[in-house]
Structure 1
Amino acid sequence: MSTLLELSGVSVSFDGFKAINNLSFQIGEPEMRAIIGPNGAGKTTFMDIITGKTRPDEGRVLWGEKGVSLLSMSESQIAQAGIGRKFQKPTVFEAQTVRENLAMALKNKRGPFDVLFYRKSAEGAARIDAIAEEIGLTSDLARPAGELSHGQKQWLEIGMLLAQDPRLLLVDEPAAGMTPSEREHTTDLLKRAAQTRAVVVVEHDMEFVRRLDCKVTVLHEGSVLAEGRLDHVTQNKDVIDVYLGR
């Protein structure tokens, strides 16, 4: 498995507060990784740095086989390079159908004329059907997205990201607000996605992390506190002190 993303010696401060402190992290492709840590550990800032929303004060962020620096790229260039991010609150086009949402997200040429003269291709339709099946929304393709349950909207948004064919998928607290059966489906969905790409899941729900059955990185005060299987890191004395709370 080759390294897809590598952060080394990354630090960023906001008004004198070090949100990320000399952080080093790497993930391969394909790989699933869970990021856990108490509030204020730097989990969101970590994702902001990878997607170009926040610029670090120091350190390197390298991407792909050639080790291209993400720090020299804009947010849209980073997205085009193959990094997709799903925020905690689902953002789907509620008035459009599930099919239309997926069609808008498909990885097509994005120039003004390309959008203007977009033709519904058989290839695009087949891809939409395949993604709908993968996210479990085949029977909902004709429904307006606004009618979906919270969990289904989350799946649709994951589907919209998959439609862009990213090499790295960043997912923020996917289990929040879901029913137990929705969580189970979400676990399966993310595990399948991680068979062909890198998937980073930031999550508070330990049971959900356990079901992902992957390597876990524990952040604390902007640094990596521990890394390894969940059973291994939850037995770490430092992790117990800062996160699990004796």
Structure 2
Amino acid sequence: MTLLEVSGVSVSFDGFQAIDNLSFSIGEPELRAVIGPNGAGKTTFMDIVTGKTRPDSGHVLWGEDNRNLVGLSEQAIARLGVGRKFQKPTVFEAQSVRDNLAMALKAPRGPFDVLLRRSVDEGRLHEVAAEIGLEDHLDRPAGALSHGQKQWLEIGMLLAQEPRLLLVDEPAAGMTTAEREHTTDLLNRLAQRHAIVVVEHDMAFVRRLGCKVTVLHEGRVLAEGSLDHVTQNKDVIDVYLGR
């Protein structure tokens, strides 16, 4: 099933065409890598999907009822099931891993729920911690984790909110070899149940993901297919790989 369909989307900033009649779709579940040179529109694409940027034209259709996300707030889009992980981890470093996950768990967020400090779903918390490989680190301060572990914690905080789509920005940056391997395994497991879009520059990491690849250039889809297919495309070689 198609979960997200970006259709004919364009947006410009001060005369610069950041996204140019872009069409893109991802199924549920599916893992997709998005690559391309700097300025290709990768970040703007994620900004549009999450409601941070409103396009000049086009539609962003979501879910079974093809609801148009354009014009909805970032909070409303997140509540519909779109989660985004930025390149730099944004965890609460003074809090424990447990507390970070507990704060993120999907639960009632009204004023009475906060005042009453309703109990955390410990089963779900441990399930998420095990999924990301941090079950043995629940009592550690998040600030004491390695860079890779902080990335996994942030992915866990997204998972705790039960998203249908995860947008993940350059997860391999700054990781050790072992952390990169753990991350690829984690993303591949999650993609059995979720739609995941990974924006990445590291070709070795993309190859390990073993998924369909979309190449963006000047705000448009330049090529799409397996990594071997797109890396043999003359246009891709000229504008991206040949640099």
Q: Which range, TM-score by smaller chain? A: over 0.9
- 2:111 equivalent to 1:112: yes
Q: Deviations over 1:153-189 (max 9, x none)?
A: 0000000000001000000000000000000000011
The residue correspondences of 1:33-182 to structure 2 (distance < 5 A) are: 33-121=32-120, 124-182=121-179
Alpha-carbon separation, structure 1, partners of 2:225 and 2:115: 49
* Counterpart code for 2:124: R
Cα displacement string for residues 168-212 of structure 1 (whole angstroms, at most 9, x for unaligned residues): 000000000000000000001111111001000000000000011
Q: Identity over aligned residues, as a percent? A: 77
CA distance in structure 2 between the aligned counterparts of 1:128 and 1:68, rounded to whole angstroms: 31
Q: State the secondary structure of the residue aligned to 2:76.
A: helix
Cα deviation for residue 119 of structure 1 reads 2.2
**Secondary structure in 1 matching 2:159:** helix
Alignment root-mean-square deviation, CA: 0.8
State whether residues 54 and 71 of structure 2, in contact with CA within 8 Å, keep that contact through their aligned partners in structure 1. Answer: no
1:7 aligns with 2:6: yes
Whether the 8 Å contact between 2:11 and 2:56 is mirrored in structure 1 is yes
* Normalised TM-score (structure 1): 0.97
1:109-132 superposed Cα distances (whole Å, 9 cap, x missing partner): 1111112213224xx101111111
Gaps of 5+ in 2: none
* CA distances 1:55-88 after superposition (whole Å, capped 9, x unpaired): 0000111000000000131100000000000000
Q: Say whether the 8 Å CA contact 2:37–2:217 is kept in structure 1.
A: yes
Aligned counterparts of 2:50 and 2:60: Cα–Cα separation in 1:
10
How many residues align? The count is 243
| TM-score, normalisation: structure 2 | 0.99
Q: Residues of 1 paired with 2:115 and 2:176: CA distance?
A: 40
User: Are residues 1:236 and 2:233 paired?
Assistant: yes
Q: What is the letter of the counterpart of residue 114 of structure 2?
A: V
Q: Which runs of 4+ in 1 moved over 3 A?
A: none
Matched AA of 1:138? E
